[in-house]
């Protein structure tokens, strides 16, 4: 564990035990990472996109601070942050009264372009729906996709958060992508992801 990881874990535990000063020390340590993650989502958005990286970080911060979570370590914190960021993006897409499905949606790859590209909100909503269905079938595969693409976590961080090996992350990610491709293929829902 890196020294900053140890400090983040220590501060998370102190915060969980009621030490508000620990939260004051923790936020500057994690803010930059949360800002980097949020920046990935909004850096390539279309100019009229209304949710900016700073707003995304602040909203995630407010939800994380208000959550009653038994923090285990730094990886757990970022795993939860990934879920929160995903939820914010989906809520934002839904609030814009987007079409969930559409025959004119172009084919895109399941990589960072889905999350940070100039994608239509329909893609985020469709991907969220598919990830929810995948979670019913295989929660770990859904978590792997979420941590890597919405949380910006590395294979090693994802492996640590899920208590599996990076090789297992890679293998299950490939299976999750195949499953998502099938779910989002034009002949099954109108969207396409590869």
| Digit-coded pLDDT (tens) for 70-82 | 888 888 888 888 8
pLDDT of residue 100: 44
- Does residue 40 fall inside a structural domain? yes
- Does residue 23 fall inside a structural domain? yes
Q: Which of 30-34, 110-114, 150-154, 158-162 has the lowest mean pLDDT?
A: 110-114
Mean pLDDT, the chain, integer? 76
- Does residue 192 fall inside a structural domain? no
Contact 69, 80 (CB under 8 A): yes
Q: Supply the DSSP symbol for 51.
A: -
- Does residue 191 fall inside a structural domain? no
148's tokens: 């890597």
Contact 26, 12 (CB under 8 A): yes
177's tokens: 């992508």
End-to-end CA distance of the chain: 34
Q: Which of 79-93, 103-117, 129-143, 159-173 has the lowest mean pLDDT?
A: 103-117
Q: What is the pTM of this model?
A: 0.60
Range of the domain at 49: 3-184
Over residues 158-184, mean pLDDT: 91
- Does residue 194 fall inside a structural domain? no
Count of structural domains, the chain: 1
- Does residue 142 fall inside a structural domain? yes
């Amino acid at each position: 564990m890196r020294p900053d990881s140890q400090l983040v874990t220590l501060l998370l535990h102190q915060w969980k035990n009621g030490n508000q000063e620990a939260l004051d020390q923790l936020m500057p340590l994690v803010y930059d990472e949360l800002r980097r993650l949020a920046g990935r989502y909004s850096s390539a958005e279309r100019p009229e996109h209304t949710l900016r990286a700073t707003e995304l970080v602040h909203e995630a911060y407010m939800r994380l601070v208000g959550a009653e979570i038994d923090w285990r370590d730094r990886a757990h914190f970022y795993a939860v942050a990934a879920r929160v960021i995903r939820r914010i993006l989906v809520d934002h897409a839904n609030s814009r009264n987007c079409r969930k499905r559409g025959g004119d949606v172009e084919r895109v790859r399941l990589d960072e372009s889905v999350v940070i590209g100039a994608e239509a909100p329909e893609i985020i909503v469709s991907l969220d729906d598919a990830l929810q269905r995948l979670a019913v079938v295989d929660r770990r595969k859904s978590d792997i996709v979420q941590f890597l693409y919405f949380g910006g976590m590395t294979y090693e961080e994802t492996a640590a958060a899920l208590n599996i090996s990076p090789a297992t992350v890679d293998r299950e990610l490939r299976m999750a992508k195949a499953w998502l491709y099938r779910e989002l293929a034009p002949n099954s829902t109108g969207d396409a992801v590869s």
